[in-house]
């Protein structure tokens, strides 16, 4: 037995710990279902993804906004196939249905135009984030946590810059 492991329980993987936590809170299935946002483009294909986006998951029903009536009709016909494809990738916690909602293209473009551009992080900030997450063994969990921290830091940096401009 090595000196560092005396009297300690076997270390668990980060993913196992998170799965136990989410399971005890009763939200594991909802978290797994939210993988839809990552799977959507790959599952439906680039063409459909350009015209339809998932916006909400409510009571096992995925709400999808569609930008044109023709695509609404097409997706209405493809619903069973899309549902089967998404559920095949979701695994144990499938969604029960897809609800399509029309959203005008102008609204979507307007929303994109008003999206704030966040400042990039410098090499020192990125290195600090890497050091913070270095102890996480699972590369997927580590990368996801790094993206989350980077997004938070970029928003925080933007807010600091806005405050400096006001004063």
Report pLDDT for 12. 65
| Length, in residues, of the chain | 167
For 124-144, what is each residue's pLDDT tens digit?
Answer: 999 999 998 998 888 888 888
> How many CB atoms sit inside 10 A of residue 82's CB?
20
Q: How far apart are CA 164 and CA 161, in angstroms?
A: 5
Domain spans of the chain, in order of start: 24-105
Distance CA 66, CA 82 (A): 14
- Written out in words, the top-level CATH class of the domain with range 24-105 is alpha beta
- At 50 the pLDDT is 86
């Amino acid at each position: 037995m090595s000196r560092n492991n005396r009297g300690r329980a076997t270390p668990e993987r980060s993913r196992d710990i998170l799965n136990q936590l989410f399971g005890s809170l009763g939200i594991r299935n909802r978290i797994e279902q939210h993988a839809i946002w990552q799977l959507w483009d790959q599952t439906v294909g680039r063409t459909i993804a350009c015209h339809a986006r998932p916006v909400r998951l409510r009571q096992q029903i995925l709400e999808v906004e569609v930008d044109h009536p023709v695509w609404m009709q097409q997706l209405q016909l493809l619903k069973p196939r899309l549902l089967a494809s998404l559920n095949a990738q979701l695994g144990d916690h499938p969604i029960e249905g897809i609800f399509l909602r029309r959203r005008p293209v102008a609204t979507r473009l307007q929303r994109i135009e008003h999206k704030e551009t966040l400042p990039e992080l410098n090499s020192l900030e990125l290195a600090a984030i890497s050091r913070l997450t270095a102890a996480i063994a699972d590369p997927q969990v580590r990368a996801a946590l790094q993206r989350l921290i980077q997004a938070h830091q970029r928003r925080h940096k933007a807010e600091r810059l806005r405050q400096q401009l006001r004063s």
